[in-house]
Amino acid sequence: MSQTLDHTNLIESFSEFKEFKNIDRATMMSILDDVFKSMVRKKFGSDENIEVIINIDKGDLEIYRTRAIVEDGEVEDTFTQISITDALQIDPEVEVGEDIVDSMKLHDFGRRAVLTARQNLQSRILELEKGNIYRKYKDRVGEIITGEVYQVWKKEALILDDEGNELILPKTEQIPSDFFRKGDSVRAVILRVEMLNGNPKIILSRTSPIFLERLFEQEVPEVFDGLITIKNIVREPGERAKVAVESYDDRIDPVGACVGMKGSRIHGIVRELKNENIDVINYTNNANLYITRALSPAKITSIKLDDENMRASVYMKPDQVSLAIGKGGHNIRLAGRLTGYEVDVYRDSDDEVEEDVDLDEFNDEIDEWIIEELKGIGCDTAKSVLELNVEDLVKRTDLEEETIKEVIRILRTEFE
C-alpha cells in the first residue's frame, strides 16, 4: 500500500533530492533506504524483517514488514511475530508456521521519529553534495573558471559558478587594479581546494602564474597543442610578467606565435590582466643568452657569471640601465626570478667602472639596511644611485626623501 507523505513534509524532501545534480539515483536510493531503516531500528531495535520501497518521482514510500505466524497467546515479539487470529484478518488463507507480509503506517512511528528521519535525510544528502563538490573541484585545480561576482568584502570576493556553488577569490589573489561589483563576470584559475569543518572551500586566483599559462593555452593554439612549451613564468601581477617559451619544431617561431600578428593574440591576455606588460622570450640553456633576453628591452654589452653563487654581473651603456631596472625595479627582479640568477647591473664605460665605488664601501657612513634597500632596486654602486633622481629613488624604494638626500650627499662627496 502506497502512502503519500504530505503531512510529514517528507514529500518536499523527495522533491528537493531530485534537484541535486551530482548525486546518482542508485546512491540516493541507498541513502533513503538507510535513513528509513534507521528509523525502524530506533523504534523496534531491528530492521532484518523490513523492506523499504521508495518512488522518488512520486514522493511515495512503502515499508513492508515480514512476520512469522504463531498460535494465539504465543506471540513473544510483536515486531517479528503475529498471532494466527490477527494474521487471518490480513490474509484469510494463511496458516500457523508461515510468514505474512504487511505494510506499516508512518503514524506507527510517531511524528517526532518521522521529522527526525527527514532531518537525517537532508543532512546525509547535504554531506554527500559537499563531498561531490570537493571531489569535482579537486580534479579541476589549475583550470580556468568563469563565475559571477555575488558579494564583495574587504578581504575577498564571493563568486558563484554556473551551478550556484560558492568560490572564494581572496584580495591577495586579485590583481591590484581589479575592481568587482555584484553581477560582474570574472575569470580566474582554481588555485586550491580545501575541506574546512566539512565544507568545501574553493580558492581562486588571478595573480598565479598558472592563470597566465592557461590564458596562453586559450589564446595560442600552438601552446594548447603542445607545439610550444612554456618553460617558466614569473609575474608581478598587474605590472609586468616574463614568459619563457620554447618550440621543438624549427618551423615555429614560439615568440611570434605567442604574440600574434600585430600583437593580436597577446592583446586579449594583457586586457584580462589589467594591462600587465608581458615579455615573451625564447628559452635557452645558455645562461648568458637567457639573462640577456630576460633583461629586455635593455641592451647588454657583456655579462660575467658567478655560477657558484648564482650571480650575474651585467654591463651596459649608461642609457640602458634604467631600462634594465624598469619601473619600480620590476624588470630586473623578474629577470632574476626567471633565470635563477641574482643580477647586478654596471655601467659599461671603462673609466666609469674604474671610478665607480661599490656601495658596500660606504657602510661606515650609510646604514647596512639602506644599502640593501638600494641594492634591491639594482643600485650596487655609488654612480648607479647618483644616476637616478630623488623622485625615482623615493618611488622605487621604501626610503624617506630625507634619507635619500643624505645618501646622495655622501656619495657625491666621494667624487668631488
3-state secondary structure 199-231: EEEEEEECCCHHHHHHHHHHHCHHHHCCCEEEE
Query: Are the CB atoms for 349 and 375 separated by under 8 Å?
Result: no
Most confident of the following: 59-63, 64-68, 122-126, 401-405? 401-405
Q: Classify 292 as helix, strand or coil.
A: helix
Other residues' Cβ atoms within 10 Å of the Cβ of residue 142: 14
CA angle 134, 140, 141 (to 5 degrees): 90
d(CA 227, CA 224): 8
Confidence band for 277, pLDDT divided at 50, 70 and 90 = very high
pLDDT digits (tens, 9 = 90+) for 308-353: 999 999 998 888 888 898 888 899 999 999 999 999 988 876 544 4
CATH of region 140-207, choose from 2.40.50.140, 3.40.50.1370, 3.40.50.620, 3.30.43.10: 2.40.50.140
Q: Is residue 248 packed enough to be buried (19+ CB in 10 Å), middle (13-18) or exposed (0-12)? A: exposed
Ranges in the chain annotated CATH 2.40.50.140: 140-207
Query: Are the CB atoms for 404 and 393 separated by under 8 Å?
Result: yes
pLDDT, position 168? 97
The CATH number of 3-135 is 3.30.1480.10
Instruction: Please say if the pLDDT value at position 202 is more than 70.
Output: yes
Q: What's the pTM value of the predicted model, to 2 decimals?
A: 0.65
pLDDT digits (tens, 9 = 90+) for 127-184: 888 888 899 899 999 999 999 999 999 999 999 999 889 999 999 999 999 999 999 9
Question: Which comes out higher in pLDDT, residue 352 or 22?
Answer: 22
Task: Kindly report the backbone phi and psi dihedral angles of residue 288, in degrees, each rounded to the nearest multiple of 5, phi listed first.
Answer: -60, -50
Q: Which residue is associated with the grid cell 654591463?
A: 315
Q: Classify 54 as helix, strand or coil.
A: strand
Nearest to 137 by CA among 165, 178, 176: 165
Q: Which residue is associated with the grid cell 615573451?
A: 280
The DSSP line for 67-94 is: EEEE-TT--S-TTTEEEHHHHHHH-TT-
pLDDT, position 15? 52
d(CA 256, CA 253): 5
pLDDT, position 119? 81
Q: In the Cβ-directed half-sphere of 82, how many Cα atoms lie within 13 Å? A: 21
Distances (CA, A) of 230 to 22, 292, 405: 35, 18, 44
pLDDT, position 250? 85
Question: What is the DSSP-derived secondary structure letter of residue 344?
Answer: E
Query: Are the CB atoms for 382 and 350 separated by under 8 Å?
Result: no
Confidence band for 416, pLDDT divided at 50, 70 and 90 = low
d(CA 41, CA 48): 9
The enclosing H or E element of 405 equals helix 401-415
Question: What is the DSSP-derived secondary structure letter of residue 358?
Answer: B
Instruction: Please say if the pLDDT value at position 196 is more than 80.
Output: yes
pLDDT, position 353? 45
Task: Kindly report the backbone phi and psi dihedral angles of residue 248, in degrees, each rounded to the nearest multiple of 5, phi listed first.
Answer: -90, -5
Ranges in the chain annotated CATH 3.30.1480.10: 3-135
